[in-house]
A and B are shown apart, each in its own frame.
Chain A
Amino acid sequence: MTGHDVSDTVPLRADLVIEYPFIRTTGPVVGAFLTGLREAVLVGIRRVDGTVMVPPVEYDPVTSESLTEVVEVSSTGTIVSWTWVDPPRPGSPWDTPHGLALVLLDGADTPLLHGVLVDSADELATGLRVEAVWRD
């Protein structure tokens, strides 16, 4: 028997799902950021050069030194870059077209990626001032 001609048959197909139920320990620095989110507070971490990264990381990205000073930043900031997502992607937290923006929070030196909910792309602009809207 030779050949792989299966053109006269209906192709087999199957829905396959691969799923891993990971639970990750956060460590004290990422944990502080998540604790802040729960408390409606945004925090970053002070780098060796004095600037503040949001979200915080455990090590300085340039010097590799351990970072330990978690600092609170503002829930208000400025859009430094953005895009418009239409339609929203499967599994997105938002079910309507929305912006995705890098927001430089007041008191931070690196921008944070998040959704910006406005009615149309016409309402978005670099330099736009935005503020966090927290869950009740």
Chain B
Amino acid sequence: MTNTPVPDGVPTDQVAEGPPIDLPPSISNVEPVLSVRTPIRLEYDFIPSAAAQQYLRAYASKRILGNRSPVDGAVFVPPRGVDPRNGVVADEMVDMVDRGHVGSFCITHLPIPGRRDLPVPYVSAWIHLDGADIGFLGLVAGCAATDVRIGMRVRAVWKPDAELAATAENVLHWEPTGEPDVPVDEAGNRGWALRQAATRGGDDA
């Protein structure tokens, strides 16, 4: 009989006790294997879609492009070339401004292995650009993590011009502008819901 072996550093009060295990003599008096390394790795040859190619090339000159839906005018950033809600091509490109607000956010305290350029705590947020109807992910910095809030106005902090390229890494992070917040009830996807409701009201009138 042997009790369940517990890896070093695991608090004993967090170990679920299973039934005792009977081991054959050949492995009952040797050091048990407690853990294994099982890294997984996926290698991609990534070729962006036509819409994403256009977006990335514009991004290299500090322009942010979106797609406008031909159905209801909703603006998607980054552009994907379609309005996925209606299943139609959306090939009208819109130039966006590089400022908006935080729709929602997360403060992360655990480091990502291999990302020494990303000290904790860091704040990832859904950035809703002015004029956009969906948000996209970005880092928020330039203030304490605890000062980030839903509705906070932010602007892009771009890489130095010499380092810009057709990659998603051109915006280093988003920093507070100091402008008054967007009210929480109008921030992020709630803003979209409000605009939708207003549009429906207009149709009825």
Contacts and interface: CB of A to CB of B under 8 A. Distances in A.
Interface string B19-42: 111111011001111111111111
A27 interface: yes
Interface in B11-70: 18-24, 26-27, 30-51, 53-54, 56-57
B84 to A, nearest CB: 15
Contact of B166 (A12, A21, A39, A71): A12
Contacts of B27: 32, 35-36, 39, 41, 43, 70, 72
Interface stretch (A1-9, A76-84, A95-103, A116-124): A1-9
Contact of A23 (B38, B41, B43, B49): B38
Contacts of B42: 17-19
B7 interface: yes
Chain B residues touching A, range: 35 or more
B167 A14 contact: yes
Given A18-B42, A71-B24, A27 B18 contact: yes
B34 A66 contact: no
A22 interface: yes
Interface residues of A, number: 42
Nearest to B50: A4
Contacts of A35: 27, 30-33
A17 B5 contact: no
Contacts of A34: 33, 36
B80 to A, nearest CB: 10
Interface of A: 1-6, 9, 11-29, 31-32, 34-36, 38-39, 41, 43, 58, 66, 68-72
11 contacts: A3-B91, A13-B45, A13-B47, A14-B46, A22-B37, A23-B37, A27-B4, A28-B32, A43-B27, A58-B18, A72-B26
Interface of B: 2, 4-5, 7, 10, 18-24, 26-27, 30-51, 53-54, 56-57, 81, 91-93, 95, 113-114, 166-167
